[in-house]
């Protein structure tokens, strides 16, 4: 009973907060839009008995999913989101790995302080942090003001409402999710392995690529998934920093729900997005399982 109770808690959590909402969204995606509250049909009425239940399922169809294949907006939004998420992940890795490496090689008494500095942005509201980048990257923002005063540029840079601003926002926001797993992997590494590689004739660069990089692979994979998965469905950053010119599926999803009030199509978009995310989620879980087995 103790083992069953321990296992039941996470499964109950997944049932209440994932499976039940997913079933509801899936049901809405198979419905038809209607001028009603809620704005879709059919509605399930258990008072009608078995016949009403059969009629309810008979009215469900896959027309909304078919509609998504006929409009270029949706598949372009999916492809654009995949591209932006992938590039953002690579940029975050390029920025985060040196930070994690420096933290892991710092003196032990400095590591808690450096770790706190990485986590410190989480103490501030995510929305406030994104708004702050609007003040930094705007035409009259801090960045352009400084660059103009020191003479590096002659006219303000147009960064806001461009993909560049979106990449900056995503990299800044999700950087801790990349740094922390890599730092955890590097901190556990035995430094005597580097010394042994150098004693055997490797240069510092060769020792890094042959020893340090492979041993930090689990942290790299975990950090990449932790950045890629939420970045794929990101809505706030492209809306505030990217403007109307940035096409991402999160923005399309929001517009279908709140502007067009087309809940069935929006639910179909959400279901397909979830199906796309299942692949990296499963790969992430397998990587975590392999890492635990290797440590065990």
Q: What digits encode the pLDDT tens for the residues 245-292?
A: 788 999 999 989 888 889 999 999 999 998 888 888 888 778 777 777
Q: What share of the chain is helix, strand, coil (3-state, %, to 5)?
A: 80, 0, 20
Cβ atoms of 266 and 25 within 8 Å: the answer is no
Find the mean pLDDT for residues 94-104.
95
The alpha carbon dihedral of 106, 109, 115, 117 has a sign of negative
Q: What span, in angstroms and rounded, lies between the C-alpha atoms of 22 and 30? A: 12
pLDDT for 151-199, tens place per residue? 888 889 899 999 999 999 999 999 999 999 999 999 988 888 888 888 8
Tell me the Ramachandran region of residue 200: left when phi exceeds 0, alpha when psi lies from -120 to 50, beta otherwise. alpha
Confidence of residue 60 (pLDDT cuts 50, 70, 90): confident
CA distance 66 to 62: 6
Global pTM?
A: 0.86
Residue scoring higher pLDDT (3 or 70):
70
- Cα 182–187–191 angle (5° rounding)? 120
92-98-100-103 Cα dihedral, nearest 10 degrees? -150
Rg (CA), the chain: 24
Residue 169 pLDDT = 94
Q: What is the rounded average pLDDT of the residues 87-100?
A: 96
Other Cβ atoms closer than 10 A to 78: 20
Domains of the chain plus CATH, in order, are 70-295 (1.10.3720.10)
Q: Provide the pLDDT for residue 286.
A: 81
């Amino acid at each position: 009973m103790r083992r069953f109770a321990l296992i039941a808690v996470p499964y109950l959590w997944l049932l209440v907060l994932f499976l039940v909402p997913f079933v509801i969204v899936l049901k809405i995606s198979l419905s038809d839009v209607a001028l009603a509250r809620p704005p879709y049909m059919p509605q399930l009425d258990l008072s009608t008995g078995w016949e009403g239940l059969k009629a309810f399922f008979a009215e469900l169809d896959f027309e909304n999913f078919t509609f998504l294949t006929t409009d270029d907006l949706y598949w372009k939004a999916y492809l654009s989101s995949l591209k932006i998420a992938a590039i953002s992940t690579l940029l975050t890795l390029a920025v985060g790995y040196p930070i994690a490496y420096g933290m892991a090689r710092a003196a032990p008494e400095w590591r808690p302080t450096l770790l706190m500095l990485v986590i410190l942005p989480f103490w501030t509201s995510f929305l406030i942090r994104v708004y702050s980048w609007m003040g930094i990257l705007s035409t009259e923002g801090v960045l352009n003001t400084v660059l103009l005063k020191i003479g590096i540029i002659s006219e303000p840079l147009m960064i806001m409402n461009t993909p560049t601003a979106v990449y900056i926002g995503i990299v800044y926001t999700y950087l801790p999710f990349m740094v922390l797993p890599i730092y955890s992997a590097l901190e556990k590494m035995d430094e005597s392995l580097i010394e042994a590689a150098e004693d055997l004739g490797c240069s510092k660069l060769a020792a890094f690529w042959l020893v340090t990089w492979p041993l930090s692979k689990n942290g790299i994979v975990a950090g990449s998934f932790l950045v890629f998965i939420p970045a794929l469905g990101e809505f706030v950053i492209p809306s505030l920093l990217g403007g109307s010119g940035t096409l991402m599926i999160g923005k399309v999803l929001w517009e279908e729900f709140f502007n067009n009030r087309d809940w069935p199509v929006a639910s179909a978009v959400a279901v397909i997005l979830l199906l796309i995310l299942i692949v990296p989620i499963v790969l992430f879980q397998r990587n975590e399982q392999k890492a635990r087995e290797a440590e065990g």
